[in-house]
Amino acid sequence: MKYDNYDLVVIGTGFASSFFLRKYLSKNDKKKKILVLEKGHVYPYAERLKVEKGLSSPYQKYASPWQENIVNLNSKKVWQFTTAYGGSSNCWWGCTPRFMPNDFNMKSRYGIAQDWPISYDELDPYYYEAEEIMSVSGPEDTPFPRNGKYPLPPHTFSIVDKILHKKYGNQYVSQATARASRGLTHRNSCMALSTCHTCPVNAKFTIENSGMDIYQDSRVEVVYGCAVFSLETVNDVVRKVLYVKDGQDHSIGGEVVVLGANPFFNSNILLNAGDKNPLTGKGIGEQLGMQVQIYLNDMQNVGGSSWVNANGYMLYDGEHRKDFAACLIEVNNAPYFIRVERGKQLNVASFRMVFEDLPIASNYVATTVNKLIPEVHFNERSSYALRGIDNMKNKLPEILSCLPVEKIIYQDTEPNEGHIIGGTRMSNDKNDGVVDKHLIHHQYRNLFVLGAGAFTTYGPSNPTLTLSALSLFAADKVF
Amino acid sequence: MCVIPPSLYFIAPGLKKYATLVLKKELYYLKLEPKGVERYIEDYFNATGNNMVSTLKWKVLFYKNAGWENSSHISDLIKYYLLSSDFFINKTDESKLVNYLGLFNSYKSPFPNPYSYVLYPPSEIGEPPR
């Protein structure tokens, strides 16, 4: 390290950290000393692509499967994440709808769980900013409040999408997505190849292709291979960050510390540091998904221009959320869902029904004897989410009555939606959460804990845009 | 698992031959380029593994006259053949010879998504009826 002490120490280089750092750099002078500690290494997109093509790469040694980074006590539950420069921007699938306003007010609106300490309106300007950074493609008329055009035009509809949009208006729209609908300087346009974890044509936004030069800023020093495991605190002030590099323990001082790892590791670091907040690490979870195949009579579902072409909000918001979960419909064009009957191969719409879930205390992160590896306890889905599934099965035939439906096939629920949420929830009152509305730890007032870990409730909408906007918000308001 | 009589096992054809017979039976309505079918079967089973359990499952499927409706094995075999051919590039035209182009893989081969705008541009997508 260049220095013994830094103005800002950031852990991680994923969405949360990167969007925070971008805002911080724009608001601070040229003399700031910033250290970024990244557990993984640089594993460039071009090299990941080579491996997907069956070629070898010298960077393969940096592949760090998620299964090796946590103790996953439920083998039926999958948690996808990437440990590398850019974090899970390397493996996400690029869906960026905003939350709905009532997602932030579940308690006051529906009597469920807890309200967030931040409102949609407060986050709105930062949603725009994050959408601009990601060059999101999306429609003009959205179910969530938004004015004007997205940075890129929306993806194209199939005839099925057009029929549903005609009936439901802005409750069925082209999905807002960071899979580009047009070519950009750093990205190509989406070809709907539907293997977005490593996009074959580099259409999906990642930290690597973002064009943000935050990690090249002269104020920023990035060190790779640093696995942060704890913090040293004195009188509730974080003084040092403790990490392992090259098999040795190290520490480094920081005036302000930012935890931008994923919720498993943010929780692990806090617990190792002696955080006694009863909610730290608690309520880990994500949405619950179910794939539904809709077989169509004499109608090919063709013409979409991205993996997930549209989002349906017909089962999302409303008074029903007093009783059961909201559901976001993801309409996807993945080729693996073709039919095999003669003349009907493309006569199918493939819906992913994504249900919100609630934080449950029996789903939590705990430390282990290995200070770097947390164990994840996840054994329960809320009855609230499961009732949402029942409602969906009752309502879907009527919702789809405008289509020539031959059959609806409900698959089993999926083992993951690609998200990790909870563990360090936001609250106004320190007794109800771990961090405040600016993502500052209630106890350690020079410590930010970013990311979807801070979500108070887990609405159906994909979390990445919201957690990125939260990072921009926090850095903007505090500095 | 269905028990195969040992006599039948020893005189029955190999795994790939069974799968070839199943594929041709299911896609009877298409003109399949024959060498391409052979290459597909070879590539498919090399990619998905080739062990005794698989062999027995395929023999069971053939002798039970199972179809795609009651076997995910057969459904997958058909699905990946169609995706790995020019069937969708030719917009499911049954009059055209179906050529195998290489095992479907969005990283290795330029197969368009059969649903996508690449094959069905916006100008070809109609509007909903009034």
Q: Which two tokens stand for residue A347?
A: 């006569």
Determine which of B23, B81, B116 to mutate to test the interface with A (most A C-beta atoms within 10 Å): B116
Partner A contacted by B83 (CB < 8 A): yes
Say how far apart CA B4 and CA B8 lie, in whole Å: 7
Say how far apart CA A154 and CA A136 lie, in whole Å: 9
Partner B contacted by A343 (CB < 8 A): yes
* B71, closest residue in chain A (CA to CA): A340
Backbone dihedral region for residue A372 (phi beyond 0: left; psi -120 to 50: alpha; all else: beta): alpha
Q: Do A191 and B113 touch (CB under 8 A)?
A: yes
Whole-structure pTM value: 0.94
* A201, closest residue in chain B (CA to CA): B107
pLDDT classification of B69: cutoffs 50, 70, 90: low
**Residue A474 belongs to what H/E stretch?**
helix A464-478
Partner B contacted by A169 (CB < 8 A): no
Provide, as residue numbers in chain B, all residues whose Cβ is less than 8 Å from the Cβ of A333.
113, 115-116
Partner A contacted by B130 (CB < 8 A): no
Range list of H helices, A277-382: none
For residue A400, give Cα distances in angstroms to A316, A396, B116.
15, 6, 22
Q: Is the pLDDT of residue B9 over 60?
A: no
Q: Which residues pair with A226 in a beta bridge?
A: none
B46, with CB counted inside 10 A (0-12, 13-18, 19+), is: exposed
Partner B contacted by A195 (CB < 8 A): yes
Q: What is residue B15's predicted lDDT score, i.e. its pLDDT? A: 77
Residues A189-227: b if buried by 16+ CB within 10 A, e if exposed = bbbbbbebbbbbbbbbbbbbbbebebbebebbbbebebb
DSSP A28-92: S-TT--EEEEESS----HHHHHHHHTT---GGGGG---GGGTSEES-TT-------STTGGGGT-
Backbone dihedral region for residue A348 (phi beyond 0: left; psi -120 to 50: alpha; all else: beta): beta
Q: Which residues pair with A244 in a beta bridge?
A: A227, A249
Please report, for chain B, how many H helices and E strands are present, in that order.
Answer: 5, 2
Provide, as residue numbers in chain A, all residues whose Cβ is less than 8 Å from the Cβ of B106.
193-195, 200
Q: What is residue A183's predicted lDDT score, i.e. its pLDDT? A: 97
Q: Is the pLDDT of residue B61 over 80?
A: no
Say how far apart CA A138 and CA A190 lie, in whole Å: 13
Of B79, B107, B125, the CB nearest to A340: B79
Q: Do A156 and B83 touch (CB under 8 A)?
A: no
Contact (CB, 8 A) for A384 and A324: yes
Nearest C-alpha of chain A: how many angstroms from B15? 22
pLDDT per residue over B11-34, tens digit each? 345 778 888 988 999 999 999 999
Q: Which of A473, A440, A453, A464 is nearest to A123 (CA)?
A: A473
Partner A contacted by B58 (CB < 8 A): no
DSSP 8-state code for residue A139:
-
Q: What is residue B3's predicted lDDT score, i.e. its pLDDT? A: 44
Say how far apart CA B100 and CA B48 lie, in whole Å: 18
Q: What is residue B59's predicted lDDT score, i.e. its pLDDT? A: 57
pLDDT per residue over B86-119, tens digit each? 999 999 999 999 999 999 988 988 789 999 999 9
3-class secondary structure, A399: helix
pLDDT per residue over A401-416, tens digit each? 999 999 999 999 999 9
pLDDT per residue over A148-175, tens digit each? 999 999 999 999 999 999 999 999 999 9
List, for chain A, all residue ranges whose pLDDT scores fall below the cut of 70. Answer: none
Q: What is residue B109's predicted lDDT score, i.e. its pLDDT? A: 81
Of B118, B125, B127, the CB nearest to A158: B125
Where in chain A are the domains? Answer: 5-478
Residues A148-157: b if buried by 16+ CB within 10 A, e if exposed = eebbbebbbb
Nearest C-alpha of chain A: how many angstroms from B106? 6
Contact (CB, 8 A) for A114 and A327: no
pLDDT per residue over A218-242, tens digit each? 999 999 999 999 999 999 999 999 9
**Residue A393 belongs to what H/E stretch?**
helix A383-399
Cα within 13 Å of Cα(A80), Cβ side:
13
Provide, as residue numbers in chain B, all residues whose Cβ is less than 8 Å from the Cβ of A189.
none
Q: Do B92 and A340 touch (CB under 8 A)?
A: no
Total Cβ atoms within 10 A of residue A247? 5
Partner A contacted by B48 (CB < 8 A): no
Q: Which two tokens stand for residue A182?
A: 């047009």
Among 3.30.420.130, 3.40.50.300, 1.10.4030.10, 3.50.50.60, name the CATH number for the domain at A5-478. Answer: 3.50.50.60
